[in-house]
Structure formats: structure tokens, C-alpha cells
Structure 1
Amino acid sequence: MAANPVEAFFDTVLEAASPTRQVTSLLVAHLLPSQPTFLQSLRRISTLASVVPKPNSVQQSIRQPLEGLTRCDDLSRSELTRPEALLEYLELRAGGQPVVPLDVGGYFAPGLARACTGFSGQILGVVEDTENGLRRYESLDKPPCAVYNVARSPLKEAEDRGVGESIVFSTEALLRSTGEVLTGRQTCVIGYGKIGSSIADALHGRRVPVTVVERNPIRLVNALSAGYPAARLHDALAEAELVFCATGDRCLTTADMRLLREGAYVASVTSADDELDLTGMAEAFTGEPVAEHITRYRHRGGSFHLLNEGNAVNFLHGSALGPSIHLVQAEMLLALTQLVNVAHPPGFYELSADLRHHIADAWLSTFHPASRTHSPVTVRS
């Protein structure tokens, strides 16, 4: 019998599909409190050859016991950009083995084609968890192997709402550490995708006025339909006291940052190098810490504050999302089993509706049993 609810949930999920042969996994991961039971379940269905920790989201209390179970390799995404570097890494950790990399952020995308042709083992496919990472795989001429898309799963929507709440929570905590408050502060959200929209909703719930900047016309329609005013980027930056970067696609250049309102605070939802021109910042601005995790950057025309050096602010507080995070983790586990059990030609794939319903039903049974008004889902093999 499972020792805790999360373990019981993963046990139920894996009843739907177990690997029919041995497989080796490589995992890129945030080493946060939501991970240990997921890693335990991953080790049940695969040989976990190594974990590549996301550099800005590592809690030592999680990492230290993990190092007793598997290797932790401190590799940045840029270090694996060179195709030969990824091939060398695969040979080092999983040479000659069937392998499924579980990715968070497109770490394996640049060298995947070279790895698929030159690896001594076999890459059965990749599972990608994030929108930014999925875009990196989609930017390839064509995927050289199967790529499972977990980033756009409907099961991830619950996590996205939690991420928005956690980002606003952490931003408010940092503001309060300097004697500032969030309520009433004129705010701009750049990017009205899944995370940006959840940030806007979380801010609205705290009576914070929100303006949205969005280049995608469909998302802009959605923002306006939800009641949020929209503006062009430079107009919004001139007015906003607080700016959230939520595009994952370099939303602020050095020139943009010069237009920020004096003393504005800037928060990001992902890695700094995804959202900001870090090279240009280092050359154009002078930074000085003003409080823990808050840096004031000065330029000839004024200054602004950057939270957590431009990295995701919610990781400062463990990115606590509650049980919703386990929905996506479960989908990653079942995507791995699909790649192991069925040969997949190169292309993009999603988990079947039946398997997603099975995950949702197991989650409801475990974490919200009183809400269930239906019979358990039967998964067709």
C-alpha cells in the first residue's frame, strides 16, 4: 500500500500502462519539494541515468538525498547547444541503451538530430514539459524522433493557474520586503498566454490594475474579452510600476528597459536569458543590490528594479503549486511508457484522451474524492 497520497496517485496512474522492456531515462528537472515522489515513480519504470537540475530552482534538501540515488549533472542549456556535446553526454550516461529524455526547456533540441544518427543506443523519443521547450523542438526543420507534447495538455491548465498565483505571491513578498505593497500598483503583463493570463487573473483578484501587452491577435482578443485593457509595449512600460515578463521569447531588449518608468519593478516567469537581453544589460546598466533578490539597475535616464536577477520569481519560495503539479508529472510518466511500448515514427505526439482521463480520474480520487460524480475511467489498451 502506498505510504502517502502522491505515491498512491502515481501507483494508480501507472496501472494504465507499464513499460514492456527496459529503458533508460535522462531528466531535466526543478529540484523542488514536488519532485521526490515523481522521481521515485520514474525510477520504478526506467533506469534513471542522470538528472540535470535547472540551475535556478534547486533546493539542497531535495538534491542531497537524490545524489545518493542517481547522478546529478550541472549542465546548462547552453552547454548542450553544441550537437557533439549532447552526443558525448548521451554516450557517457546511457551508451548502447534505449533512451527517453524527459526535458524541461528544450535542453536536448539543438543536438537531437545529431544524437539520433550518431548515438550508440536508440533515442525512442523525447517528452517535453514546457511551452518554451516545445517551441525549440518545433523550430527544427522536422523532429528527428518522436516528441511528446505535454506542454499544451489540458491537464497542464491547472498547473498554469497555480504558477500564476505563485508568481504573484512571490512578487508581493519581495515588494513587501522593501516596504512596498502590491495593491493598487499599475501593472503590465507582457504576454497573455497560459501563464500570463493566470498572472493577470491573480492580480485582478488582488485589486491590482492590469494592462496587457500581446502581439498575438488571438490572445489579444482573449485579453480584451476578459476585460483587460491593452497597450503597445513602449506605452505600457512608460506607465507601469510593475512589469511581468511572460513570453519566453526575449520580451525586453536593452532599449525597452531604458523606457521603463523610474523605479519600476520587473519580474519574470522563466529563465532570465529567455526573457531579457542579459548581455545588453551588463553593458548598458550598472547594478547594485538594494534588498535580498532585488537589484536596482541604473542608466543615464533613470533606474529600475529587477527581481531575482530576472529568473522566475516563484522559485524563491519553492514554486508551491499544490497537487496540480502531479497531473503533468503523471502525463510525463505515461508518455514515457507509450514511447517504450509502441514504435513512434518521427513527429509530434500527445497522450490519448483516454489516458488523460485516467490521470484526471486518479487525481480526483486521490485529492478530491468527494467531488467525484462519475464512474472510474476504463482505459482501452
Structure 2
Amino acid sequence: MESPERARLDAFFRQITTQFPAGDAITTLVITHLLAERPAFLRAMATTSTVGAVLPKPKSIHQPTLDEVRRTFTVHDLTRELFADTTQALDYLEDTAGGRDVVLVDIGGYFATILDTLVGKFSGRVLGVVEDTENGHQRYAALDALPCPVVSVARSPLKDCEDHLVGRSIVFSTEALVRARGDILTSRNACVIGFGKVGRAIAQTLRAQDLRVTVYDSDPVKRVLAHSQGFCTSATTTEAVRDAELVLCATGNLALRHSDFAALRNGAYLGSVTSSEDELELGSLHDLYQRTPVSAQLTRYEITGHYFYVLADGGAVNFVHGAAVGTYIHLVQAEILAATAALSHSRFQPGLHDMPTADRDTIARTWLDHFER
């Protein structure tokens, strides 16, 4: 990042943290994509909290950024297993922030299954969670009762800009990986599973690039919406993928199960918007299909009479090329900072919450002041 860009970004975050100051001393554990623009966000988080640990998402680490962040912050490896076992998770929290007031900054619902234990048995206080993604939002929403506030920015209007550009970047990276093996997408049949904000952007971008697009969503209302926008729709996943030469999954949940892969057309390309463990049940195929690397980001799955290609090991395809969405990502980061500050003031009761409209308006006006020109 060039010096003028860094100065402008730091000035933006200074104004955000001034407008949304934290209360008493808090410690944050920050799960994050560690991309080139992320140090500015972490520096801002450090002005409102003690950053107890940065936990980078494994498939979205920019190595020079990791090296830079390690010079300032404690960085720990992140795995689903770390927070799957309640004893291990509680021990980790005690070792990292024992006795303190803590806010957990999440991407993907890592803390969801053990949140009751962390809130009930931690020697300090878990003030709440800030969740960034749709799949994480769904994990917290699925719990019978939340023991602390969870503030989700996943469905914030401020995230709409990012979601639209993520959809476009997914298509860009998909086409780049396909072209790397001498193939093209133009005029092919494509299937998009999930017609939320990202899925909608993917479908629209594919259509604009002359693909024939079929949409499947488990929500019939979203299928109606897709139909109203001129997309073909299917009543089942199997029907949707059967004739597709490209399948992109954007559900924020498990999109393709073990039985669905057999329905894929021979030679189809398969990609995901989120982590492979969230969208694709690929692990169930490892004893059945032979896996052959075609390139660094393309794997051929083959069994007698059937084969298909998986992009980026089933992980988020756009992270192959840095997942850049420009300065719009800072709208979401600012809302995460504001939500963290709100939790430090105990503004919310236990349950799932959005940030108030007035706070989002303040963030949007501040962004316009810094980045509109």
C-alpha cells in the first residue's frame, strides 16, 4: 500500500474510532482474512482494545502481510478443531486473555458451538461476538439461545457493496483458473447454488459474460426472485447441477452433500464462495475419487466413468487473486469496530443483533468524506 493511501486509510479509521469509542479496557481475539489492506484495520482495533491474538483464516493469508502483522501482534494458527472441543477452547481463551473482558471478532461462526462454555466458565467476561459472514450468522442464529450478545454485520446494508464485488471477483478468478488450462467459460451452462447477495452478483456477472445460468436456492422466495430476474430455476440441487458445466456455490452453508457429486456433469468445474468445509462435503469423496492436481488451484476428481474439476481445493475462489473489493471493504471493517465498541459499553442484551441504522449512516458519511473523491 502506497504511503498516501495508508495515510488516508489510517485517518478514516481514526475518525471511526473517535466516533465510536470503546468503554472500559477490553481484549479482542480477532479472526480475520489476512490480506494486504488488513493491517490498517488491526491498527484501528488496537486503539480501542488490547488485541490478544490475531487468528488468520488459513486460506486467505498474504505472506508479506502476515510477516508485517507478526511484528506488532500475537498471531496464532486458526483451525476449526481449536474451537470444536470445549475444554481446548476454554484453555485457549484462559491462556490468551484470562480474567479480562473479551470481545470475540469472528468470521465464519468459529465460536458458535462452544459459546455457552466460554461465557459460563471463562475466568473473565465474554462481552459478546461480532460476526462478519453469512455462514457465521447462520451458525449463531441456529443456536437455541445465545448466552451473550452477537452483533452480526453479515446482512448490513454497508456490506452490500462488498457482496456485489465479491460476486464479480468470484467470476473473475473462476475464469482465470479455467483459462489457465486453455479453456473458456463463454456460452456454457452454469449453475449458481444460493441466491443471496453474493449469489445474485455471481449469477448476474455470469449472464453478462454470455453464460446460460440456472439458479437453485432452498428458499422458494429466492427462487421466485431469481425467476423474476430472468434466470432459469430448479426445484432440487440435483436437477440444477445435472447439465451445468460450471457450478458455483454461494449458500453460506452446506451446498453439496456426498450424494450430489454424482450428479455433476463430466468435466464440470466446481467452486465455492466460502470455506470448503462450509459449502462442499468433499472429504466424503477422498476414499472414492482419485484426485489429480491439474494446476496449483485446480484438482481433477475422477472415478470410473465420472470426473469433474474442483477450483481452489473447494475454498473461496476469489482469494486466489487477493479478493480485492477496493475501499468498500472498509465500510464493513468500520462497522465491526463500531460493534466492538458497542459491546464494550454493554449496549446489547444476549441475542442476535444488528447495528442501529444511525450508526451505519455515520459510517457511510465518514466513508464518503474520505473516499468519494
Fold conserved (TM > 0.5)? Answer: yes
Maintained 8 Å contact 1:87/1:119: yes
Whether 2:253 is the aligned partner of 1:249: answer: yes
Match for 2:339 among 313, 335, 342?
335
- Identity, % of aligned pairs? 43
- 1:344 Cα deviation from its structure 2 partner: 3.0
Q: What amino acid does structure 2 have at the position aligned with 1:68?
A: R
Deviations 1:82-126 (A, max 9, x none): 122221111011001100010000111111111111111111111
Match for 1:112 among 109, 112, 115?
115
Gaps of 5+ in 1: 370-381
Matches within 5 A, 1:117-128: 117-128=120-131
- 1:2 Cα deviation from its structure 2 partner: 9.3
Give the distance between the partners of 1:332 and 1:291, measured in 2 at CA. Answer: 37
- 1:279 Cα deviation from its structure 2 partner: 2.5
Q: What amino acid does structure 2 have at the position aligned with 1:364?
A: L
Give the equivalent residue in structure 2 for 1:148: 151
- 1:3 Cα deviation from its structure 2 partner: 5.3
Maintained 8 Å contact 1:84/1:111: no
Whether 2:207 is the aligned partner of 1:204: answer: yes
Match for 1:166 among 162, 165, 169?
169
Maintained 8 Å contact 2:127/2:346: no
Give the equivalent residue in structure 1 for 2:40: 37
Q: 1:2 to 1:22 in 2, by over 3 A?
A: farther
Give the distance between the partners of 1:271 and 1:83, measured in 2 at CA. Answer: 22
Gaps of 5+ in 2: none
Maintained 8 Å contact 2:140/2:352: no
1:227 match: secondary structure: coil
Give the equivalent residue in structure 2 for 1:222: 225
2:96 match: secondary structure: helix
1:189 match: secondary structure: strand
Report the count of equivalent residues: 369
Match for 1:103 among 88, 106, 124?
106
Give the distance between the partners of 2:238 and 2:139, measured in 1 at CA. Answer: 27
Q: What amino acid does structure 2 have at the position aligned with 1:293?
A: Q
Q: What amino acid does structure 2 have at the position aligned with 1:94?
A: A
Q: What amino acid does structure 2 have at the position aligned with 1:313?
A: V
- 1:343 Cα deviation from its structure 2 partner: 4.7
Give the equivalent residue in structure 2 for 1:19: 22
Give the distance between the partners of 2:142 and 2:90, measured in 1 at CA. Answer: 20
Give the distance between the partners of 1:253 and 1:95, measured in 2 at CA. Answer: 40
Match for 1:296 among 300, 303, 307?
300
Deviates more, 1:197-206 or 1:125-134: 197-206
1:258 match: secondary structure: helix
Give the distance between the partners of 2:6 and 2:188, measured in 1 at CA. Answer: 45
1:29 match: secondary structure: strand
Q: CA RMSD in A?
A: 1.4
Give the distance between the partners of 2:6 and 2:58, measured in 1 at CA. Answer: 30
- 1:233 Cα deviation from its structure 2 partner: 2.2
Give the distance between the partners of 1:101 and 1:199, measured in 2 at CA. Answer: 30
Deviates more, 1:86-95 or 1:246-255: 246-255
Give the distance between the partners of 2:172 and 2:113, measured in 1 at CA. Answer: 34
Match for 1:364 among 362, 368, 371?
368
Give the distance between the partners of 1:79 and 1:45, measured in 2 at CA. Answer: 26
Deviations 1:325-379 (A, max 9, x none): 111000000001111123532112221111100111111111114xxxxxxxxxx
- Normalising by structure 1, we get a TM-score of 0.94
